Amino acid sequence: MATESIIEVKNLTKMFGKFTAVDDIAFDVKKGEIFGLLGPNGAGKSTTLRVLSTLARPTRGTATIGGYDIVEEDNSVRKLIGIVSEKMIMYNRLTAKENLWFFGSLFNLPKDVLTKRVDELLELVQLTQWKNAQVGTFSTGMRQRMNVVRALLNLPQVLFLDEPTLGLDPQSSVEIREFIKKLNRENGTTIIITTHMMVDADLLCNRIAIVDHGKIVAMDTSANLKKIISGADTAIIKLNIPNLSSVLVEKLQALKCADAVTQESETELRLLVHGDEAFDNIIDAVRANDGKISSMENLQPTLEDVFLHITGHQVRDTADQKIPLEHRRFGQGPRRIR
Amino acid sequence: MRNMTLKTLMSHTLRIAWKDLTELFRNRLGLVLLIVMPLFMMVMVGFIYPTNGTVSNLQVGLVNEDSGFYNSTLPSQTFIVGLQAINNQTHMLVISNVSTVADIKDMVQRGDLEGGIVIPSNFSESMMTGQQGTLIIVSDESNPQISATIQAALRGVFDAMGTVIAQQKVAPLNATNTLAVVKPFNVQTQGVVSGNPSYFDFIAPGIMAMTVMMSVMTGLPVAISQEKEIGTMDGMMVAPINRLSIILGKTLGQTARGLLQGLIIFLLAVGLFGVAIQGSILLVFGLLLLGVFAFVGLGIVITSFTKDQETAQMMMMTLMFPMMFLSGVFFPIQQMPWYMQAISKVLPLTYASQALRKVMVLGAGIPQISTELIVLIVFGAVMIAIAVPVFRRMMTR
């Protein structure tokens, strides 16, 4: 098991005018690791990725990839990396094969090597039979597969993935996740992934850096991050109350021991609570408001809870989550009141 | 080593240009528009622009108020017969008899007539008593162009008739050449080249120059901002290639597109509109390439300042209109007020279309267009010197 660092980020800052998108971050990524940058939209994840992949210049600080400086030796860095952007990097009017051939030809590979590699990559993502079709005619899943293999043309040691499952259906998401794991397992590719999806981070990453407002607020394995909650006298409980009312929800939200109250369905509540008497207080509050508890469950903490615990706000801040209409009266979505 | 670098630069440049052209040729509608646009421009401007030679069938009213002289209206009758005889050859006018001047004015106002001729009541009297006969032309001031044309046409007719009458009068002098007596000067017009150039000859070079140069000046910003917007630019930027090959490749692609469009206009002009090319065709295309060179720098500077495609499009429209009208592509610069002429003199397109026109219409060679060549080369070099650092900065944000 190699333990040497392939990426070293040193006090990296990126500003756009007066706005600090990335605020003095530092971290190392080990060779062969899957490293996740988790945080809400606008936290600075994508900017970090763009700076590391030489697409943007840092305002202060720098980083090395494979020992090369991302500013001074950008072309050496570019030979080592591949990037899967949130936007699909491909030309709709070119065929799958032409697209790969075009981007591959920018890496100065010998013709026979490139030809072979294009065929192999198309085979790898089961697009061989569509290789002569223009990618504009492809489905979203096919396009995302193309988007991923396009980044592999130079057999990169480090692969950056910016929200790779964004906008994909669950099945395509699973496929992409499996593909990333396989790539990491079989080729030893180091993978840096940004996401605001807890599932992605949880299922894929060896280590996760939680990013908020341009800063890394926590960085560890998923299991260790969750221990922050277990060790902090905090619990997550799920209540099923058949006669749940909005009054009751408000009462619970007003409780001191409740850090977060999220209504998950018409009868279900998810609570992040702290303190020895939290359970008693909650049960008392429910009874006092004529609520009937049909079931109560002690849940394992998720990364979402960790994020909430550390930053004081939720990750799912934008429209990536569909909120049932009847719940909208509670606000813009699952929210937390303190 | 340096040689290798140059070779890879060229190879990447060609790849990018090839990619752009493949995309272009797969876009059927775009390709059709590429041909239709210059065709429209030629047809519209070419057919609408009025030229004296092509005016015909103007509706003109004739009022004969001549009261005669001792019961003789011979002079006015002679005049009418003569007018009709000349018009039968030129078909310039359609003459209808109208009873009064007021009627003519009324018919002009209603749009039934475009002008009128009035023979005053004392016409025969004047002519037969040794005085000048007066003829009145009624013109439609709402349409200065037509009014001027009618006036010129009628003056020509009157002049010809006057000459004939004068010749008859001097006949008794026994001169050997009566025409030489009444008209001592014989004015002839001779062009620099043979043939009879039409307005198409005037606009074809201008439209060619404009289209080719617009392709780099405005096509480049649009093409690059589009790639930035859809994200494909990142795909090129993350490859270990010289940034210069991106802009060179894009420029090459756009130049090829522009030259293709130029060639289409050239073929349309020659094949469909009968434009005769007097100079060297090689020089024509050489000039178009020089025009591209002159505009590349400007195109890159605009590219660096436009963040998205919409801005690029708007920038293109904003620049295209003044260029189109002030560079003498459609209208002669000499027609413009002095301040517009001043602006025109600083626009490179003016020089490009002027040089192209000299070569295509007048058959000029390199020595005759040296001023234009120098202006274009200097302008291009200065713009590229500005563009390179600006572009570098844009690429490494």
Residues B296, B216 contacting (CB under 8 angstroms): yes
Alpha-carbon torsion (A95, A98, A102, A103), positive or negative: positive
pLDDT at site A323: 34
**DSSP-derived 3-state class of residue B153:** helix
**Nearest residue to A75 via CA among B243, B304, B232:** B243
B4 within some domain: no
Task: Determine the residue of chain B that is closest to A93 in CA distance.
Answer: B23
**Nearest residue to A111 via CA among A120, A96, A101, A98:** A101
Of A56, A81, A89, the CB nearest to B235: A89
On the question of pLDDT at A331 being above 60, the answer is no
Most A-contacting residue of B238, B248, B396 (CB-CB within 10 A), to test interface: B238
Q: Structurally, how many domains does chain B consist of? A: 2
Given 3-state DSSP classes, what are the helix, strand and coil percentages for chain B, each rounded to the nearest 5?
Answer: 70, 5, 25
Rounded to 5 degrees, φ, ψ at B113 are -125, 155
Name the percent of chain B lying above pLDDT 90. Answer: 10
My answer on whether B223 and B368 are in the same domain is: yes
B300-336 pLDDT, tens per residue? 888 888 777 788 778 777 877 888 788 888 777 888 8
Q: Which helix (H) or strand (E) holds A154?
A: none
Bridge partners of residue A235, in order along the sequence? A273
My answer on whether B226 and B337 are in the same domain is: yes
Contacts of A134 in chain B (CB under 8 A): 26
Distance (Å, rounded) from C-alpha B131 to C-alpha B67?
Answer: 16
The tokens for A170 are 């669950």
Task: Determine the residue of chain A that is closest to B243 in CA distance.
Answer: A75
My answer on whether B59 and B174 are in the same domain is: yes
**Nearest residue to A218 via CA among A153, A300, A307:** A307
Contacts of A106 in chain B (CB under 8 A): 12, 15, 236, 239-241
Strand segments (E) across chain B = 58-64, 93-97, 115-119, 136-139
A57 touches chain B (CB under 8 A): yes
My answer on whether B77 and B141 are in the same domain is: yes
Taking every pair of Cα atoms in chain B, the longest distance, rounded to a whole number of angstroms, is: 106
Task: Determine the residue of chain A that is closest to B27 in CA distance.
Answer: A93
B140 lies in which domain range?
55-182
A91-149 pLDDT, tens per residue? 999 999 999 999 999 998 899 999 999 999 999 888 999 999 999 999 988 998 899 99
The boundaries of every CATH 3.40.50.300 domain in chain A are 5-89+151-220
Per the model's pLDDT, the better-predicted residue between B191 and A98 turns out to be A98
**What is the amino acid identity at position A248?**
L
pLDDT at site A316: 54
pLDDT, mean over chain A: 85
My answer on whether B227 and B325 are in the same domain is: yes
B187 within some domain: no
B101-120 pLDDT, tens per residue? 888 888 888 888 888 888 88
Distance (Å, rounded) from C-alpha A181 to C-alpha B31?
Answer: 44
pLDDT at site B53: 52
Q: A–B: how many Cβ contacts below 8 A? A: 68
In B272-369, which residue ranges form alpha helices assigned H by DSSP? 281-305, 309-326, 338-346, 348-362
Name the percent of chain B lying above pLDDT 70. Answer: 94
Contacts of B396 in chain A (CB under 8 A): 57
Taking an 8 Å cut-off on Cβ atoms, the answer to whether B238 and A78 are in contact is yes
Q: Residue A160's pLDDT band (boundaries 50, 70, 90)? A: very high
- What mean pLDDT comes out for the span B129-134? 83
My answer on whether B177 and B280 are in the same domain is: no
Distance (Å, rounded) from C-alpha B312 to C-alpha A259?
Answer: 50
Contacts of B228 in chain A (CB under 8 A): none
A106 touches chain B (CB under 8 A): yes
Of A57, A90, A93, the CB nearest to B396: A57
Most B-contacting residue of A91, A92, A99 (CB-CB within 10 A), to test interface: A91
Strand segments (E) across A59-195 = 60-65, 68-69, 81-84, 158-162, 190-195
Most B-contacting residue of A102, A111, A146, A159 (CB-CB within 10 A), to test interface: A102
How are strands ordered across the β-sheet holding A295-299? A258-263, A268-274, A234-240, A295-299
Q: Are strands B93-97 and B58-64 parallel, antiparallel or unpaired?
A: parallel
The boundaries of every CATH 3.30.70.100 domain in chain A are 226-330
On the question of pLDDT at A337 being above 50, the answer is no
In the block, tokens 């002839």 appear at B188
Taking every pair of Cα atoms in chain A, the longest distance, rounded to a whole number of angstroms, is: 77
Of A57, A87, A107, the CB nearest to B231: A87
B189 within some domain: no
B353 within some domain: yes
Taking an 8 Å cut-off on Cβ atoms, the answer to whether B232 and A91 are in contact is yes
Of A53, A88, A106, the CB nearest to B241: A106
B1 within some domain: no
- What mean pLDDT comes out for the span A266-294? 83
Contacts of A87 in chain B (CB under 8 A): 230-231, 234
Taking an 8 Å cut-off on Cβ atoms, the answer to whether A102 and B15 are in contact is yes
pLDDT at site B195: 66
My answer on whether B18 and B128 are in the same domain is: no
pLDDT at site B54: 56
**Nearest residue to A108 via CA among A154, A54, A158, A155:** A154
Task: Determine the residue of chain A that is closest to B226 in CA distance.
Answer: A91
B3 within some domain: no
pLDDT at site A325: 36
On the question of pLDDT at A165 being above 90, the answer is no
My answer on whether B111 and B171 are in the same domain is: yes
Residues A192, A27 contacting (CB under 8 angstroms): no
Of A76, A89, A98, the CB nearest to B232: A89
Distance (Å, rounded) from C-alpha B127 to C-alpha B161?
Answer: 13
**Nearest residue to B96 via CA among B120, B61, B58, B136:** B61
A150 touches chain B (CB under 8 A): yes
pLDDT at site A250: 83
**DSSP-derived 3-state class of residue A235:** strand
CATH number corresponding to A226-330:
3.30.70.100
> For the whole model, what pTM was predicted?
0.74
Domain boundary among the residues B128, B158, B182 is at B182
Per the model's pLDDT, the better-predicted residue between A322 and A132 turns out to be A132
- What mean pLDDT comes out for the span B71-99? 83
My answer on whether B177 and B225 are in the same domain is: no
My answer on whether B207 and B125 are in the same domain is: no
Alpha-carbon torsion (A71, A76, A81, A83), positive or negative: positive
Taking an 8 Å cut-off on Cβ atoms, the answer to whether A79 and B27 are in contact is no
Topology at the third CATH level for domain A5-89+151-220: Rossmann fold (3.40.50)
Contacts of A85 in chain B (CB under 8 A): 231, 234-235
Bridge partners of residue A158, in order along the sequence? A81, A190
A105 touches chain B (CB under 8 A): yes
Domain of residue B107, CATH code: 3.40.190
Q: How many other C-beta atoms lie within 10 A of the C-beta of residue A101?
A: 19
Given 3-state DSSP classes, what are the helix, strand and coil percentages for chain A, each rounded to the nearest 5?
Answer: 35, 25, 35
My answer on whether B175 and B202 are in the same domain is: no
Most B-contacting residue of A93, A100, A155 (CB-CB within 10 A), to test interface: A93
B166 within some domain: yes
A108 touches chain B (CB under 8 A): yes
On the question of pLDDT at A335 being above 80, the answer is no
B151 within some domain: yes
pLDDT at site B197: 67
My answer on whether B278 and B302 are in the same domain is: yes
Taking an 8 Å cut-off on Cβ atoms, the answer to whether A106 and B396 are in contact is no
Per the model's pLDDT, the better-predicted residue between A1 and B237 turns out to be B237
B334-392 pLDDT, tens per residue? 888 888 888 888 888 889 988 998 888 888 888 888 999 999 999 999 988 998 888 87
Q: Are strands A215-220 and B115-119 parallel, antiparallel or unpaired?
A: unpaired
Q: Are strands A268-274 and A295-299 parallel, antiparallel or unpaired?
A: unpaired
